[in-house]
Structure 1
Amino acid sequence: MRTIKLGSSDLNVPVVSVGCMRINALEKQDAARFVQTALDEGANFFDHADIYGKGACEEIFAEAIGMSPSVREKIILQSKCGIRPGMFDFSREHILSSVDGILKRLNTDYLDVLLLHRPDALVEPEEVAAAFDELETSGKVRHFGVSNQHPRQIDLLKKYVKQPIVANQLQLSITNATMITSGFNVNMENDAAVNRDGGVLDYCRLHDITVQPWSPFQFGFFEGVFLDNAKFPELNAKIDDIAAKYSVSNTTVAMAWLLRHPAHMQPVTGTMNLQRLKDCCKASEIHLTREEWYGILLAAGNVLP
């Protein structure tokens, strides 16, 4: 598996992150097989959140991988906190208690990366800074990032937080690519020119923040996958043609489309299917041409001005 640096850190990570949001849907033996398959593919970066399965996903993962000191040193663990029932919470107290719960469920002494899950309208960045300082000093968290945040929200945190923000996890796929396509339509009088994220993609590139696309095969907000979907005939025809050229699956090509972007993104998988997981990892070996990348973009219904 090809690797990249995570943000401005010295942490080398595989270009594909293994999302564990649905691991609680697997039987015990299947969960163990899933984790081992990821490791066999060189995908040793596992993405969690304290709300996934109400914490059960982290517990199931720890058991599936047989967490021990020797196992722990071979993997990279990321988790997220900040979502509570009916609210978001970036208070110092909640961040610290959340991390303690995460560590207990994962059966580990530290997280490689902690992300703040969704922006808290009542955030007091001084409290976030205090929590991050305590977590870093105690050795419980080594690197910090955010999820679903636009540039000004990150700047507000950075005014108080001394640790580098190394990652920003954002929804991005071929069919949900406004953070890319709005850049084509600067000063244009059309809907595609609407800037919905404050230029977050270029911001992250300028500030050495790794973009981690979530739901890389979804269209809409969890409306379904675009692959093999009759709603997207032109897109699937284009992807299938390119897949045949490289003798890979359509899943591999769709993932390779994200990896082709020069931002050096780290997409997060969501599948629990072993073959699809392997297909996602295979994308590390595929480098689409400029013509192929733009061909896919246009086949998804995007228009160049």
Structure 2
Amino acid sequence: MASETDIRTHKLVYGCMGLGGGWDTAPYTAEDIHRAETAIEAALTAGITAFDHADIYRYGKSEAVFGEVLARSPGLRERIVVQTKCGIRLPDGDRPGHYDLRGASIVRRVEESLARLRTDFLDVLLLHRPDPLADPREITAALASLHAQGLVRQFGVSNMNGPQIASLQAHMDLPLVVNQLEMSLHRRDWVESGVLFNTADAARNGFAPGTLEWCAANDVRLQAWSPIAQGRLTSHEDTRVNRLVAEIARHKGTTPESVLLWWLQRHPARIAPVIGTTRPEGISACADAVHRRADLTHEEWYELWVAARGIPLP
């Protein structure tokens, strides 16, 4: 039976990319730590106990300020699930940004993340993006070593399609349990790829067919990054879809943010949104995605989809 430490049991995840100050190498400040504390407390109050990181977020400062909060909060680490990602290298001088999933690099990045987070282990490690030069056997050997040492409990990927995940899984005894993708009512290629097959619009959809089905068949939980699309559909902009989101929220006694998260959660692919706002009120607005079922009818779900498309379904 899955436990609360299994990332697949969590309906909503808090994304920590906004914590830690600026996207630069300047040191984080006491105010950055305070803002992180405030956001983490708001997430916990909303019922969110899974936290998503990446080693590159704010040049490592997102993990570092989170580690400061953990150090100041005895017992907090045991109450939460901590997930981070590795595999992207940011530009450095004349060196361009690139991907690096060499085995030794994975191990080194995990060790650095553990130090910044001030924890002895990660609940989940995701490979952030595919590295075309990586050897799947080298990757999986590194992951097996990290697991055997007790440094990482579960593994997954981000921004990968079904065949890419299958290629890794073929060399692993441990299951890959997460695939994190950009998914929202605004970014709909993941759902439209299935219905645009055998239409003239299919060639314009770049989402890899079969990825959702592969993940579902292999118990890989989908996580949706940018699920509220930076507030595009919860703003006061007078568009058909914005008006419909607000109308459904009023009718259901909830917030526009929760309606958008329900739209993802209502899909049978079992999607866990990763919210990223640092505003406590914005985090609180998502609480119904934890505490209530995805309260959209079949017809309401389609009304939202068609309104966002702006044109009828094929």
Q: Do the aligned residues in 2 keep the contact of 1:252 with 1:279 (CA within 8 Å)?
A: yes
Which residue of structure 1 aligns with residue 10 of structure 2? Answer: 14
- Which residue pairs with 2:296 in the alignment? 288
Return the match for 1:297 from 296, 305, 309: 305
TM-fit CA distance, 1:169: 0.3
State how far apart, in whole Å, the 1-side matches of 2:205 and 2:130 are. Answer: 21
Of the three residues 66, 69, 85, the one matched with 2:71 is: 66
Maintained 8 Å contact 1:17/1:269: yes
Tell me the alpha carbon deviations over residues 171-228 of structure 1, each in whole angstroms, 9 at most, x when there is no partner.
Answer: 011011111112112222224774522321121111111110001122xxx7x73322
Give the aligned partner of residue 94 of structure 2: none
2:216, 2:269 within 8 Å by CA — same for their partners in 1?
yes
Cross-structure match for 1:24: 20
Structure 2 counterpart of 1:243: 249
Deviation at 1:145, TM superposition (A): 0.2
CA contact (8 A) 1:78 1:113 kept: yes
Gaps of 5+ in 2: 22-30, 91-96
Identical amino acids, percent of aligned pairs = 38
Distance change in 2, residues 1:5/1:262 (3 Å):
farther
In structure 1, distance between residues paired with 2:50 and 2:13: 5
Aligned residue for 2:266? 260
Q: Offset of 1:153 from its aligned partner?
A: 0.9
RMSD of aligned C-alpha atoms?
2.1
**1:92-111 equivalences in 2 (<5 Å):** 92-111=103-122
Structure 1 range deviating more: 86-95 or 153-162? 153-162
1:149 to partner: Cα distance: 0.2
SS in structure 2 of the partner of residue 300 of structure 1: helix
| Aligned partner of residue 143 in structure 1, secondary structure | strand
Q: CA deviation at 1:28?
A: 2.6
5+ residue gaps, structure 1, are none
How many correspondences in the alignment? 295
Q: Which runs of 4+ in 1 moved over 6 A?
A: none
Q: CA deviation at 1:276?
A: 1.1
TM-score (norm 2): 0.88
Give 1:63 deviation, angstroms.
Answer: 1.3
One-letter identity of the residue aligned with 2:269:
A
Correspondences of 1:1-305 after superposition (within 5 Å): 13-25=9-21, 27-66=32-71, 70-85=75-90, 86-191=97-202, 194=205, 196-218=207-229, 225-228=232-235, 230=237, 233-284=239-290, 285=292, 286-301=294-309, 303-305=312-314
Work out the CA distance in 2 between the residues paired with 1:192 and 1:293: 25
Q: Distance in 2 between matches of 1:67 and 1:5?
A: 30
- TM-superposed deviation, 1:38: 1.1
